A and B are shown apart, each in its own frame.
Chain A
Amino acid sequence: MANPVSPLHPLRQTGQFGNKSAPGVTLQEIPNFGMLQFATWGDTFAETSAEAARVAGCDTAPNPGQFNSGDNGILMRVEPLKWWLISSEGTEVPQSDLPPEHGAVLDMRQSRCWLRIGGERAETLLNHFLPLDLSPAVFGAGTVASTAFHHVGVTLWRDDAGYNLLLPRSSAVSLWELMSESARQYGLVEI
Chain B
Amino acid sequence: MSASRLTKGGRIDRSRKVTFSWDGKTFEGFAGDTLASALMASGEQVLGRSFKYHRPRGIMSAGVEESGAIVTLGKGDRVEPNAKATMQELFDGLSASGQNAWPNVRCDVGAVLGLFGRFFSAGFYYKTFMGLPPFEWGRGTGIWMQYEKLIRKAAGMGEASREADPDSYDHVHAFCDMLVVGSGPAGLNAALTAAQQGKDVILVEQDFELGGDLLNQSDPAVETQRAELIDALQSAGVRIMTRTTTFGLYDYGTAGLLERVTDHVTAPSQDAPRQRFWTVRAGATVLATGALERTIAFTNNDRPGVMTAAAARTYLNRYGVLPGQNIVLCTNNDSAYVSASELAAAGAKVTVVDLRTDVGADQLGAMQTAGVAVKTGLVPLKALGGKTVSGVQLAREAGTGWAAAETLSCDLLLVSGGWSPVVNLLSHRGAKPAWDADLACFLPASCSENVVMAGSATGHWQAADCAASGIAAAKVAMGEDAQTPTLGGWDTPIKPVYEVRLPGSKTKSFVDPQHDVTCDDVRLAHQEGFVSVEHLKRYTTLGMATDQGKMGNVIGLALMAEAMGKDIPAVGTTRFRPPYTPIAIGALAGRNVGTHFKVMRRTPLHDWNLRHGATMTDAGLWHRPWYFARKGETINDAYIREATTVRETLGICDVSSLGKIAVQGPDASEFLNRVYTNAFAKLAVGKARYGIMLRDDGMVMDDGTTWRLSENDFLMTTTTTGAGRVMVFLEELLQTRWPDLKVHICSVSDQWAGVSIAGPQTRDVIAACMEDPDTVSADNLPFMGVKKIRLKGGIDGLIARISFSGELAYEIYVPSDYGEPMMDLLWSETEPRGGCLYGLEALGALRIEKGHVTGAELDGRVTIDDAGLGKMASTKKSFIGSTLRQRPELLREDRPQLVGIFPKDRSQTFNGGALLCKHGDNIGFGEGWVTACTHSPALGHWIGLGYIAGGHEAWQGKSVTATDPVRQGDVEVEIVSPHMFDPKGERMHG
Residues of A participating in the B interface, judged by any CB pair closer than 8 Å: 1-7, 10, 18-19, 31-32, 37, 39, 41, 81-82, 100-101, 103-104, 106, 108-112, 124, 127-133, 135, 138, 150-152, 168-171, 173-175, 177-178, 181-182, 184-185
User: Which residues between 712 and 766 of chain B lie within 8 Å of chain A, taking CB atoms?
Assistant: 712-713, 742, 744, 746, 748-751
Q: Which of B25-33, B495-503, B661-669, B686-694 is found at the contact surface with chain A?
A: B661-669
Closest Cβ–Cβ distance, residue B72 to chain A (whole Å): 27
- Contact call B172/A128, Cβ cutoff below 8 A: yes
Residue B821 lies at the interface, judged by CB distance under 8 Å to chain A: yes
Contact of B818 among A4, A151, A168, A174 (CB under 8 A): A4
Closest residue of A by beta carbon distance from B751: A111
With a cutoff of 8 Å between Cβ atoms, the chain B residues found around residue A41 in the complex are 665, 742
Question: Taking chain A's interface residues, is the majority helix, strand, or loop, or is none over half, making it mixed?
Answer: loop
Contact of B666 among A19, A100, A124, A174 (CB under 8 A): A100
Q: Could you list 23 examples of A-B contacts with CB < 8 Å?
A: A2-B825, A3-B821, A4-B821, A5-B604, A5-B819, A41-B665, A100-B712, A106-B744, A106-B746, A110-B817, A112-B750, A127-B172, A127-B173, A135-B175, A150-B592, A151-B599, A152-B599, A169-B750, A170-B601, A173-B600, A178-B596, A181-B168, A185-B269
User: Which residues between 595 and 623 of chain B lie within 8 Å of chain A, taking CB atoms?
Assistant: 595-596, 598-604, 606-607, 622
- Contact call A181/B591, Cβ cutoff below 8 A: yes
User: Which residues between 441 and 478 of chain B lie within 8 Å of chain A, taking CB atoms?
Assistant: none
Closest Cβ–Cβ distance, residue A141 to chain B (whole Å): 18
Instruction: Compute how far the CA of A101 lies from the CA of B172 in the bound complex, rounded to whole angstroms.
Output: 45
- Contact call B604/A169, Cβ cutoff below 8 A: yes
Report the contact-size class of chain B (Cβ under 8 Å from the partner).
Answer: 35 or more
- Contact call B748/A108, Cβ cutoff below 8 A: yes
With a cutoff of 8 Å between Cβ atoms, the chain B residues found around residue A150 in the complex are 592, 596, 599
Contact of A127 among B168, B174, B591 (CB under 8 A): B174
Contact of B596 among A4, A100, A112, A177 (CB under 8 A): A177
Give B620-634 as 1s and 0s: 1 = Cβ < 8 Å from A's Cβ atoms. 001000000000000
Closest residue of B by beta carbon distance from A133: B175
Contact of A185 among B272, B600, B793 (CB under 8 A): B272
Closest residue of B by beta carbon distance from A105: B664
- Contact call B170/A182, Cβ cutoff below 8 A: yes
Contact status of A170 and B603, CB under 8 A, knowing A2-B795, A108-B746, A178-B596: yes
- Contact call A2/B821, Cβ cutoff below 8 A: yes
- Contact call A131/B271, Cβ cutoff below 8 A: no
Residue B279 lies at the interface, judged by CB distance under 8 Å to chain A: yes
With a cutoff of 8 Å between Cβ atoms, the chain A residues found around residue B269 in the complex are 18-19, 185
A-B contact count (CB 8 A): 140
Instruction: Compute how far the CA of A182 lies from the CA of B600 in the bound complex, rounded to whole angstroms.
Output: 17
With a cutoff of 8 Å between Cβ atoms, the chain B residues found around residue A101 in the complex are 666, 742
- Contact call A19/B821, Cβ cutoff below 8 A: no
Known: A37-B746, A100-B666. 7 other contacts (CB 8 A): A39-B664, A104-B665, A133-B281, A135-B200, A169-B816, A174-B595, A174-B601
- Contact call B821/A109, Cβ cutoff below 8 A: no
Residue B167 lies at the interface, judged by CB distance under 8 Å to chain A: no
With a cutoff of 8 Å between Cβ atoms, the chain B residues found around residue A127 in the complex are 172-174
Closest residue of A by beta carbon distance from B666: A100
Closest residue of B by beta carbon distance from A38: B744
With a cutoff of 8 Å between Cβ atoms, the chain A residues found around residue B599 in the complex are 150-152, 171, 174-175
With a cutoff of 8 Å between Cβ atoms, the chain A residues found around residue B603 in the complex are 170
Closest Cβ–Cβ distance, residue B666 to chain A (whole Å): 5
Pairs A-B, 9 closest by C-beta atoms = A4-B817, A2-B793, A2-B821, A111-B751, A104-B664, A133-B175, A184-B271, A170-B601, A18-B271
With a cutoff of 8 Å between Cβ atoms, the chain B residues found around residue A168 in the complex are 750
- Contact call B600/A174, Cβ cutoff below 8 A: yes
Residue B964 lies at the interface, judged by CB distance under 8 Å to chain A: no
Give B253-276 as 1s and 0s: 1 = Cβ < 8 Å from A's Cβ atoms. 000000000000000010111000
Closest Cβ–Cβ distance, residue B771 to chain A (whole Å): 12
Closest residue of B by beta carbon distance from A19: B271
Contact status of A170 and B818, CB under 8 A, knowing A124-B172, A175-B599, A181-B168: no
With a cutoff of 8 Å between Cβ atoms, the chain B residues found around residue A138 in the complex are 175
Give B504-545 as 1s and 0s: 1 = Cβ < 8 Å from A's Cβ atoms. 000000000000000000000000000000000000000000
- Contact call A39/B172, Cβ cutoff below 8 A: no
Instruction: Compute how far the CA of A94 lies from the CA of B711 in the bound complex, rounded to whole angstroms.
Output: 22
- Contact call B817/A132, Cβ cutoff below 8 A: no
With a cutoff of 8 Å between Cβ atoms, the chain B residues found around residue A152 in the complex are 599
With a cutoff of 8 Å between Cβ atoms, the chain B residues found around residue A31 in the complex are 817
Closest Cβ–Cβ distance, residue B984 to chain A (whole Å): 38
Instruction: Compute how far the CA of A111 lies from the CA of B661 in the bound complex, rounded to whole angstroms.
Output: 12
Instruction: Compute how far the CA of A170 lies from the CA of B794 in the bound complex, rounded to whole angstroms.
Output: 24
With a cutoff of 8 Å between Cβ atoms, the chain B residues found around residue A2 in the complex are 791, 793-795, 818, 821-822, 825
